[in-house]
Amino acid sequence: MSETAIRPARISRILPDSIASEIGFEPGDAIVAINGSYPRDLIDYQFLCADEVLQMEVVDATGKTHQLEIEKDYDEDLGLEFETALFDGLIQCNNRCPFCFIDQQPPGKRQSLYLKDDDYRLSFLYGSYLTLTNLTQREWERIEKMRLSPLYVSVHATEPEVRIRLLKNPRAGQILQQIEWFGERRLQIHAQVVVCPGINDQVHLERTLLDLAQFHRGEIPAVASVAVVPVGLTRFRPSEDELIPVSPEKAAQVIDQVQTLQSKFHQQLGSNFAWLADEWFLIAGEELPPESHYEDYPQIDNGVGSIRSFLKQFTAAAKHLPKQIDPPRKFTWVVGNAVEKAFQPILHQLNQVNNLRVNMEALCSTYWGQKISVTGLLTGHDLLEGLQGKDLGNGILLPAMMLKHGDTRFLDDMTVEELAHKLDTAIIPVRGVEELIEICIH
């Protein structure tokens, strides 16, 4: 784990009409202290700002220090955004999982692309998964004191030797005791299991899900849900990594196994509890479960039920589609080829609008070396290769899930602007169903 000293929290944006804009904050200013405390991260910042009087020490872009007093309602937001959520640096990963996506990237890219985060703060703030293998006593105490819950934990296996083998870390065998720790404090986790055939599948997967289900009891269950996800492999993985790709037969077997357990959990716990990522069904070539299966979509950000949810939202929003638009418009909607079939009803309905023409380009990722790709993994390289020389109409409708969180970069580091320039077309990032429709018709 690497932990650096707290740096002043550098401001990247001031929201219009906010307290901060009224005071005259500017991007580049940095907050040093609030009421005498030095915030380590966004969590401290939010906690310290929940007060009516704030004494702030701020350093401006020229290095000059200012003391400010701000009066506000305790729950009023100042309207500041920061360059990073972690003012004392990223807590890095101390594991060596053979399936790590960071290690499965091509060499020679920007250094920050190779940074492996395993930081509970990002888990709490943004729902990223962590392993709990690198937490010091001080961080455990902070999780408890600040009630940082739920956290998202990569469990993978509950048998110590299997988890140690997967994470290549002797500290990985404590997972059941750690989950108990959460339970005793009425704190919660969502879990995930990345299934690696031959390592943590079959009896090990069953053991893991049964063990985790033991913690899904009581008013505040320590384990709220588990996502079961297939291992993702790229052409850049080391040849000696002992991993086996998930075949359609393997996917069908995992679906069977988990669905049998789901019925059992449903009876005993009143919830399916363990959730299969959509990818399993796409790999196996099987129908996705119906919308009613997903309860309140507890693992949607992990690709569990996201296709069903998108279709459902589209059906509701499509009721307001106009009969015709003017002037005529034509768009290219880019998706991963894994969802080509599932999204045909959407395409069909959009093309019922007179003067609107949406062409779907369902691509695979040659960059990662995959024949079947989910949308979120397509890179700038894939789009350039797949779309060059084609008539793209008025522009590309780009699912924003291809871009990094809060950024305009694809996973291969190409920017949207760079790609738009190379393809000589407009690229419109689309966040969800409503934006998709909005852009098509307005």
- Residue numbers of the site for ligand SF4 (CB under 6 A)? 93, 95-97, 100, 102, 116, 118, 131
* Signed CA dihedral, 131, 137, 138, 143: sign only: positive
* Exposure on the CB side of residue 380, measured as CA atoms within 13 A: 19
Nearer to ligand SF4, 161 or 438 (CB): 161
**What is the rounded distance in angstroms from the CA atom of residue 43 to the CA atom of residue 358?**
43
Nearer to ligand SF4, 238 or 270 (CB): 238
Nearer to ligand SF4, 118 or 382 (CB): 118
Nearer to ligand SF4, 90 or 282 (CB): 90
Closest approach, Cβ 121 to ligand SF4, in A, equals 15
Closest approach, Cβ 94 to ligand SF4, in A, equals 8
Nearer to ligand SF4, 96 or 109 (CB): 96
Closest approach, Cβ 45 to ligand SF4, in A, equals 25
Strand partners, 228: 193, 276
Nearer to ligand SF4, 100 or 187 (CB): 100
**What is the rounded distance in angstroms from the CA atom of residue 380 to the CA atom of residue 382?**
5
Closest approach, Cβ 139 to ligand SF4, in A, equals 16
Rounded to 5 degrees, φ, ψ at 45 are -55, -50
Closest approach, Cβ 243 to ligand SF4, in A, equals 12
Q: 301: buried, middle or exposed (CB in 10 Å: 19+, 13-18, 0-12)?
A: middle
Can you tell me whether residue 372 is helix, strand or coil?
Answer: coil
**What is the rounded distance in angstroms from the CA atom of residue 194 to the CA atom of residue 154?**
8
Closest approach, Cβ 276 to ligand SF4, in A, equals 20
Closest approach, Cβ 237 to ligand SF4, in A, equals 12
Closest approach, Cβ 93 to ligand SF4, in A, equals 3
Closest CA to 189 of 158, 157, 222: 222
Can you tell me whether residue 418 is helix, strand or coil?
Answer: helix
Q: How far is CA 368 from the centre of its chain?
A: 19
DSSP class of residue 89 equals -
Nearer to ligand SF4, 96 or 421 (CB): 96
Query: Are 128 and 120 in contact, with CB atoms under 8 Å apart?
Result: no
Closest approach, Cβ 100 to ligand SF4, in A, equals 3
Query: Are 106 and 236 in contact, with CB atoms under 8 Å apart?
Result: yes
**What is the rounded distance in angstroms from the CA atom of residue 250 to the CA atom of residue 338?**
17
221 preceded by a cis bond (ω within 30 of 0): no
Nearer to ligand SF4, 128 or 262 (CB): 128
Closest approach, Cβ 96 to ligand SF4, in A, equals 6
**What is the rounded distance in angstroms from the CA atom of residue 342 to the CA atom of residue 238?**
33
Nearer to ligand SF4, 102 or 146 (CB): 102
Nearer to ligand SF4, 72 or 116 (CB): 116
Strand partners, 9: 31
For the record, the structure tokens of 284 come out as 């196996």
Rounded to 5 degrees, φ, ψ at 233 are -120, 145
26: which residues sit within 8 A by CB, 6+ positions away?
A: 11, 14, 60, 61
User: H/E element holding 11?
Assistant: strand 9-14
